[in-house]
A and B are shown apart, each in its own frame.
Chain A
Amino acid sequence: MQTFFQDLRFGFRMLRRSPGFSILIILCLTLGIGTNAAVFSWIEGILIRPYPLVPHQDRMFALGGTTRGVANGNSLSYPDFLDFEKNSTLFESFIVDKITGTSLSVGDRAERASAGIVSANYFDALGIKPILGRGFRPEEGQGRNAHPVVVISYRTWKDRYGGDPNIIGKTQYLDGVQHTIIGVAPEKFHGTFVGYSFNFWVPLSMQETFDSTGYHLEDRGARWIEGYAFLKPGVTRQQAQAELDSIAQRLEKDFPETNRGHGIQLLPLWKTPFNGASAMNQTLGITMAVVFLVLLIACANVSNLLLARSLLRRHEMTMRLALGAGRRRLIRQLLTEGVLLSLIATIGGIAVAYWCRNALVLSFPKPTTGIVIDYSGQIDWRVLMVSAGICILATLIFALVPAIQASHVDLSGALKSEAGGVLAGSNRSRLRSALVLVQVSLSFVLVAGTGLLLQSLNKMRNASPGFSTEVVATGVDLFSAGYDLERAKIFHTQLLDGVRTLPGVESASLTRVIPFTYTPYSTAPIEVDGYQPPPNEQPTADYNQVAEEYFTTIGILIVSGREFLRTDDENAPPVAIINETMAGKYWPGKNALGERLKVKDKWMQVVGIAKNANYETKREPAKPFFYVPLRQNFAIQNNLVIRTRQTPGAVLNALAPAVQGLDANLAPLRAYRLGEQVDRMGYSERLAVTLVALFGAMALFLAIIGLYAVMSYSVSQGTRELGLRMALGAGVKDLLGMVLSHGLRLMAAGIVVGSIAAVVLTRLMANLLYKVSPSDPVAFGSALLVIIVASLVACFLPAWRATRIDPVKALREQ
Chain B
Amino acid sequence: MNMKSTELTAEESTNEFDGNGFAPLIRLAAVTKVFLTDEVETHALSGIHLDIREGEYCSIAGPSGCGKTTLLSILGLLDTPSDGSYALKGHEVANLSFAERARVRNREIGFIFQSFNLIGDLTVFENVELPLTYRGTSAADRKALVTEALERVGMAHRAKHLPSQLSGGQQQRVAVARALAGRPAILLADEPTGNLDSHNGEAVMHLLRELHQGGATICMVTHDDRFAQHADRTVHLFDGRIVEDRMAA
Partner-B contacts on A (CB < 8 A): 419-426, 720-721, 724-732, 734, 807-808, 811
Q: Which of A424, A425, A728, A807 contacts B134 (CB 8 A)?
A: A728
Complex Cα distance, B115 from A422, in Å, reads 8
B130, A420: Cβ atoms under 8 Å?
Answer: no
Cα-based distance from A689 to B111 in the complex (angstroms): 58
Question: B221 to chain A: closest CB distance in Å?
Answer: 13
Interchain nearest-CB distance for B85 vs A (Å): 20
Q: Which residues does B use to contact A, with CB under 8 Å?
A: 73, 76, 78-79, 98-99, 102-103, 105-107, 111, 113, 115-121, 130-131, 134-135, 163-164, 168, 171-172, 175, 178, 182, 195
16 contacts between A and B (CB under 8 A): A420-B115, A421-B113, A422-B119, A422-B120, A422-B163, A423-B119, A423-B120, A425-B119, A425-B121, A726-B105, A729-B103, A729-B131, A730-B106, A732-B98, A808-B78, A808-B79
Q: How many interface contacts (CB-CB < 8 Å) are there between A and B?
A: 80
Are A724 and B119 closer than 8 Å at their CB atoms? Answer: yes
Bound: A305/B111 CA distance, A = 35
Of the candidates A423, A721, A729, A730, the one having the most CB atoms from chain B within 10 angstroms of its own CB is A729
Least CB separation from A807: chain B residue: B78
B79 near A727 (CB under 8 angstroms)? no
Question: Given the complex of chains A and B, what is the CA–CA distance between A721 and B122 in angstroms?
Answer: 12
**By the criterion CB–CB under 8 Å, are B73 and A422 in contact?**
no
> Across the two chains, which residue of chain A brings its CB closest to B76?
A727
Q: How far is the CA of A425 from the CA of B162 in the complex (A)?
A: 10
Q: Evaluate contact between B102 and A811: CB separation under 8 angstroms.
A: no
Q: Say whether A424 contacts B120, CB under 8 Å.
A: yes
Q: Identify A728's interface contact among B73, B111, B168, B195, CB under 8 A.
A: B111
A727 touches B195 (CB 8 A): no
Separation of A721 and B111 alpha carbons in the complex (Å): 14
Chain A residues with CB under 8 Å of B168's CB are 421
| Contact residues in A for B163 (Cβ distance below 8 Å) | 421-422
Q: Are A729 and B78 in contact (CB under 8 A)?
A: no
- Chain B contacts for A720, CB-based, 8 A: 117
Given the known inter-chain contacts A727-B78, A731-B134, A808-B79, please indicate yes or no for A423 contacting B99, CB distance below 8 A.
no
Q: Which residues of B contact A732 (CB under 8 A)?
A: 98-99, 102
- The answer to whether A421 and B119 touch (CB under 8 A), given A725-B130, A734-B134, is no
> Once the chains are docked, how many angstroms separate the CA of A422 from the CA of B105?
22
Q: How far is the CB of B238 from chain A (nearest CB, A)?
A: 21
Given contacts A727-B78, A728-B178, contact A811 B120 (CB under 8 A): no
What CA separation (Å) do A131 and B97 show in the bound complex?
85
Please measure, in the bound complex, the distance between the C-alpha atom of A580 and the C-alpha atom of B105, giving whole angstroms.
82
Given contacts A727-B76, A728-B131, A811-B113, 17 further A-B contacts (CB under 8 A): A420-B115, A421-B168, A421-B171, A421-B172, A423-B117, A423-B119, A423-B120, A425-B119, A724-B117, A725-B134, A726-B78, A728-B134, A729-B102, A729-B103, A729-B105, A729-B134, A730-B134
Among residues of A, the one whose C-beta sits closest to the C-beta of B100 is A731
Give the residue name and chain of the B residue nearest to A814 (CB): B115
List of B residues within 8 angstroms of A729 by Cβ: 102-103, 105-107, 131, 134-135, 182
Q: Is the CB of B118 within 8 A of A422?
A: yes
Closest B-chain residue to A720, C-beta based? B117
Contact of B195 among A421, A725, A808 (CB under 8 A): A421
**Residue in B closest to A426 when the chains form the complex, CB atoms:** B121
Which residues of chain B are near A727, meaning CB under 8 Å? 76, 78, 105, 111
**What A residues does B79 contact at CB under 8 A?**
808
Q: How far is the CB of B170 from chain A (nearest CB, A)?
A: 11
Q: What is the predominant secondary structure among interface residues of chain B facing chain A? A: helix
User: Across the interface, which residues of A come within 8 angstroms of B175, CB to CB?
Assistant: 421
Neighbouring B residues of A425 by C-beta, 8 Å: 119-121, 164
| Docked complex Cα distance between A411 and B141 (Å) | 44
CA of A420 to CA of B118, assembled, Å: 10
Indicate the member of B99, B103, B117, B118 with the most A CB atoms within 10 Å: B117
Question: In the complex, what residues of A have CB within 8 A of residue B121's CB?
Answer: 425-426
- CB of B134 within 8 A of CB of A811, answer no
In the bound complex, what is the Cα–Cα distance between A41 and B95 (angstroms)? 65
A residues within 8 A CB of B107?
729
Question: What A residues does B178 contact at CB under 8 A?
Answer: 728
* CA of A811 to CA of B178, assembled, Å: 16
Q: Which of B105, B113, B172, B195 contacts A419 (CB 8 A)?
A: B195
- In the complex formed, the residue of A with least CB distance to B98 is A732
A282 to chain B, nearest CB (A): 48
Residues of B near A423 (CB, < 8 A) are 117-120
B99: contacting residue among A426, A724, A728, A731, CB under 8 A = A731
**Measured CA separation A426–B162 after assembly (Å):** 13
- Within the complex, the shortest CB–CB distance from B69 to chain A, in Å, comes to 8
A712 to chain B, nearest CB (A): 19
A423-B134 Cα distance, complex, nearest whole Å: 19
Is there an interface contact between A721 and B119, defined as CB atoms closer than 8 Å? Answer: yes
A158 to B102, CA, bound (A): 81
> CB-CB < 8 A to A731: which residues of B?
98-99, 102-103, 134
Given contacts A728-B105, A729-B105, A732-B98, contact A422 B134 (CB under 8 A): no
Q: What is the chain B residue whose CB lies nearest that of A731?
A: B102
Q: Give the residues in chain A near B73, CB-CB below 8 Å.
A: 808
Report, nearest first, the 7 A-B pairs whose CB atoms are least far apart: A729-B106, A421-B116, A425-B120, A728-B131, A731-B102, A425-B121, A422-B163
A83 smallest CB distance to B (angstroms)? 78
Shortest beta-carbon distance, B93 to chain A, in Å?
14
Complex CA distance for A493 and B107, rounded to whole angstroms: 99
CB distance from A90 to the nearest CB of B (A): 69
Interface centre among B73, B98, B119, B130 (most CB of A within 10 A): B119
Tell me, in angstroms, the Cα distance from A727 to B107 when the chains sit together: 11
- On chain B, the residues within 8 Å of A730 by CB distance are 102, 106, 134
Note all chain A residues with C-beta closer than 8 A to B103: 729, 731
Can you name the residue of chain B whose Cβ is closest to the Cβ of A730?
B134
Chain A proximity of B127: nearest CB distance (Å): 10
Closest to B104 in A: A729
CA distance A734 to B102 in the complex (A): 11
CA distance A808 to B171 in the complex (A): 21
B160 to chain A, nearest CB (A): 16
Contact yes or no, A422 B102, CB < 8 A: no
* Cβ-neighbour of B102 out of A426, A721, A726, A808 (below 8 A): A726
B185 CB, nearest partner CB in chain A, Å: 13
B197 to chain A, nearest CB (A): 13
Task: Tell whether A419 pairs with B115 under 8 Å between CB atoms, given A725-B130, A729-B134, A731-B134.
Answer: yes
Chain B residues whose CB sits within 8 angstroms of the CB of A807 once the complex forms: 78
Inside 8 A of A721's CB, which chain B residues have their CB?
119
Contact indicator B118/A421 (Cβ below 8 Å): yes
Residue among B106, B107, B175 having the largest count of chain A Cβ atoms under 10 Å: B106
Taken together as a complex, chains A and B put the C-alpha atoms of A720 and B175 apart, in Å, by 15
Alpha-carbon separation in the docked complex, A76 to B224 (Å):
101
Complex Cα spacing A808 to B76, Å: 10
Closest to B184 in A: A729
Residue of A nearest to B166 (CB): A422
Complex: A727 Cα to B102 Cα, angstroms: 7
A351 vs B14: C-alpha distance in the bound complex, in angstroms? 73
Interchain CA distance A721-B130 in the complex, whole Å: 12
A736 → B minimal CB distance (Å): 12
Give A733's nearest chain B residue, CB to CB. B99
Query: What residues of chain A lie closer than 8 Å to B99, measured between beta carbons?
Result: 731-732
User: Which chain A residue shows the least CB distance to B72?
Assistant: A808
* B134 in contact with A421 (CB, 8 Å): no
A425 to B122, CA, bound (A): 8
Q: A425, A728, A808 — which one has the most chain B CB atoms within 10 A of its CB?
A: A728
Complex Cα distance, B168 from A726, in Å, reads 23
A729 nearest CB neighbor, chain B only: B106
The docked-state distance in angstroms from the alpha carbon of A807 to that of B102 is 11
B195 & A422 in contact (Cβ 8 Å cutoff): no
CB of A93, distance to nearest CB on chain B (Å): 72
| Cβ contacts under 8 Å, B130 to chain A | 725, 728
| A723 → chain B closest CB, angstroms | 8
Give min CB distance, B72 to chain A, whole Å.
Answer: 10
Chain A residue nearest in CB terms to B121: A425
- Whether B116 lies near A422 (C-beta < 8 A) is yes
